[in-house]
Structure 1
Amino acid sequence: MTDRLRSYLNALTAAPSVEQLWSMHSARMADYGFDRLFYGFTYFRSGDSLGDPADFILLTNHDRAYTDVFIGEGLYFDAPMLRWALEHEGACSWSILRDLHASKTLTPGERRVLDFNRRMDVTAGYTVSFKAVSLRSKGAMALTARRGMTQEEVDAVWTRHGEDLTLMNTVAHLKILTLPKNSAGRSLTRRQQEVLNWVGEGKNVRDIAEILGLTCATVEKHLRLAREALDVETTAQAVLKAAFQNQLFVLSR
């Protein structure tokens, strides 16, 4: 491992927020020619479904003209490289898309995605699919090469630096999973976090009221607001979802 790579990984693992990590990682990948990144992760995969898009962890520096269609209009579901990522782990060149074209097995949805990507100059790159931590989870990073780069040039970069690039993206992925994330801006207040923390410790409403010096009605109000913020129906679901987002048992910041 080079000193530069070691220094970068140390900085990456010390990042205090998702925003700072993403800014740092985007700049580092651009050094290798990958100036547009798309990271996605879900804890709610079930069969062919990735769950509610509102619950995805999505990070990207693509512009809105791309994301509004790719995510907003649901093109991601038919993206061939996403399909590959769901079925594999490791790194894959987008050169396999040429084989799909040649095989004439593309679905209409897949053709729509590839046509859109061509219009947006998303034509050359690599996808890194990370090892799943459970049957219901999956994460991947799509690295799009800068405009004008061919897939052959991208593959040459990967031949020289692929091991380091895979390592850097894997560490970024693992670090993201440890940081608090407010899905769609639905952050919990400190009091909502506090009452959910106590629920997670096995305390009931009466116990929590006594511990915090509140009335039972006030505790119930904070639990209701937490459920609404997290868009779930039960307090148990709220505890689970907040834990997935690393909004529980966090150090004061």
Structure 2
Amino acid sequence: MIAEHLEKLTACQCLEDVWTLHLNKMLEYGFDRIMYGYTRYRNGRSLGDQDDLLLLSNHSTTYLDVFFGEKLYYNAPMVRWSLENEGACSWSWMADQIQSGGFTESEMKVVDFNRRLGVTSGYTISFKSVSYRERGGIALTAPSDISQDVVDEIWAEHGQDILVMNNVAHLKIINMPWFGQRRPLTQRQREVLEWVGEGKTMQDIACIMGLTPATVEKHLRLARGALDVETTAQAVLKASVQKQMFLVDA
């Protein structure tokens, strides 16, 4: 039952459990490969620094090494669609665009690559954003021997349920700690950033933590390095959006 699945999903305590549960549930509807992406650093059509993206997928390394490693996703048609729209889209949209000549040469290279790797039928969901800098989406891929017509029939029967489950999974994921490809903060780094976020001065933090101001500054410097930012204010913001601050039982 969907209610039972959603209850299990919302009770998950770590990202890995959420992802595994969601993969298994989508497989029940015939989607054997999934790709999820989320950023809070979007700028226009750019998704920002790749290292700041949260990327989850069970596609093969052969596929991912090219799609992300060689940055094909920059020109992926369904990525473009998800940046410009919200909701669910059948991949039949791509067939219509190809027929009308609506894709650029770079986009057609991505289409051809997907065909070679058996990524030919599925649905893309672009999640509703509360900020213009934020964007999340998920691509649900069916087995290569399943036509888009069959996928559309599955969606016609179960699409609303699939959409709800993906929306809940997305909301769960973005409210859990994640560190991308950067180093997670240490307990000390997290603590000094939390005190900065509370408005404490360097002297205040040193007194509260029983450290010297120089040691506090060292932790802040290492935190800025781990988060790949230049200022402490940027570090507080980035650690906050990545859910690395004020953790329970951190």
Deviation string for 1:178-202 (max 9, x for gaps)?
A: 1000121410011111000001111
Matches of 1:48 and 1:130 in 2, distance apart?
Answer: 16
Query: Which of the numbers 239, 243, 250 marks the counterpart of 2:240?
Result: 243
- The match for 2:24 is 27
Look up the match of 1:152: 149
For residues 59-103 of structure 1, give each alpha carbon's deviation from its aligned partner in whole angstroms, at most 9, with x where no partner exists.
111111111111111110111111111111110100011111111
2:166 aligned partner, one-letter code: N
Which residue in 2 is equivalent to 1:121?
118
Which segments of 5 or more consecutive residues in structure 1 lack a partner in the other structure?
Answer: none
In the alignment, which residue of structure 2 is the partner of 1:94? 91
Aligned to 2:169: 172
Q: How many residues align?
A: 250
**Shift >3 Å, 4+ stretches:** none
Paired residue for 2:188? 191
> If the length of structure 1 is used for normalisation, what is the TM-score?
0.97
Q: 1:118, CA displacement in angstroms?
A: 0.3
- Separation in 1 of the partners of 2:201 and 2:180? 27
Q: CA deviation at 1:146?
A: 1.8
The SS at the match of 1:128 is strand
Whole-Å Cα distance in 2 between the matches of residues 182 and 9 of structure 1? 25
Tell me the TM-score normalized by structure 2: 0.98
Matched with 1:210 is: 207
State the 1:204 CA deviation: 1.4
State the SS of the aligned residue for 2:203: helix
Q: Find the residue that maps to 1:183 and give its secondary structure.
A: coil
- Would the aligned equivalents of 2:45 and 2:83 in 1 still touch at CA under 8 Å? no
Name the aligned partner's letter for residue 64 of structure 1: T
- C-alpha separation in 2, matches of 1:126 and 1:31: 15
| Structure 2: runs of 5 or more not aligned | none
Aligned counterpart, 1:107: 104
Q: 75, 92, 98: which one pairs with 2:72? A: 75
% identity of equivalent residues:
56
1:161 aligns with 2:158: yes
User: Alpha-carbon deviation of 1:105?
Assistant: 2.5
Letter in 1 for 2:222: L
Instruction: Tell me the amino acid that sits aligned with residue 178 of structure 1.
Output: N
- Superposed displacement of residue 147, structure 1: 2.6
Partner of 1:58: 55
- State the superposition RMSD in angstroms: 0.8
Kindly indicate whether the alpha-carbon contact (under 8 Å) linking 2:182 and 2:226 is maintained by their aligned counterparts in 1.
no
